[in-house]
Structures are given as structure tokens and as C-alpha cells.
Amino acid sequence: MNSFLSRWLVMTISVGVMVLLLPGMTAVGKPPIFGIAAFALFMALINASIKPLIRLLTMPLTIVTFGIFSLLLNWFFMSLSSWLAIGLFGVGVHIRGFLWSILGSIIISIVNSIVTAAMDR
């Protein structure tokens, strides 16, 4: 459980940076950290549960499309997390389109790597 909580914390930090940097991402909720934390919770749950299986099943399609299908999966999982967080808790992160989701994925990956490396020290 401790491992999941640390992944959720890292994801919350990454999503917070993403929302700060991208005008196409809007935190929904008062205060906005609740929306960011709810969105990060669903992202962490999806990343830990169904994302590895979906990636394995779609690997041939990802190879054939030179990784472009992976961008669609990232967009889908971010949209699903947004929909679940806003639908269930009334707070979350609103994503304004496919391009913003791609840029958000890149920012989340970079910040996740940096924060994880800093926590491992």
C-alpha cells in the first residue's frame, strides 16, 4: 500500500505541474488541489491495473503504427481519468483536446522521472 501511496503522491505532483504549465488543462474544484489529487488517483489506479494489460494486447498495433497508437491510448486513459474524477467526485482535471493530452503526457512523464529519482536518493 505504501508503494501505491507514493506513486499517487508522485502522480499528484506531476499532474499539478502539468496543470500549471498547460493552458489546455484546467483543475476543476475548490481548492484546485482536490481536482488534481482526484485526477491523479484515477491515473495511478489505471496505470497500476489495466494499462499494462492493454499495452500488451495492443503492442502489435503500436509497432505497426510506429508508436502513434500509444498516443491514442494515453489520450484515452487521461480522458477516462478525467471523466471518472469529475463524474464521481465532482472535481478533477478538464482536458481541452487531444493535443493537450499528448503534451500533458510528456510533462507527466518528465516530472514523474525527476520526482521519482529525487525520492530514491
Q: How far apart are CA 23 and CA 52, in angstroms?
A: 29
Name residue, grid cell 483536446: 97
> Which ranges constitute the DSSP H helices of the chain?
2-21, 32-48, 51-57, 59-64, 68-89, 98-120
Range of the domain at 15: 2-120
The model's pTM: 0.89
Structural domain count, the chain: 1
Q: What is the pLDDT of residue 67?
A: 87
* Inter-residue contact 12 to 108 (CB < 8 Å): no
Spell out the per-residue pLDDT of the chain, length 121, in tens: 578 898 899 999 999 999 999 999 999 999 999 999 999 999 999 988 998 899 899 999 999 999 889 889 999 999 999 999 999 999 999 999 999 999 999 999 999 999 989 988 7
CB 10 within 8 A of CB 115: yes
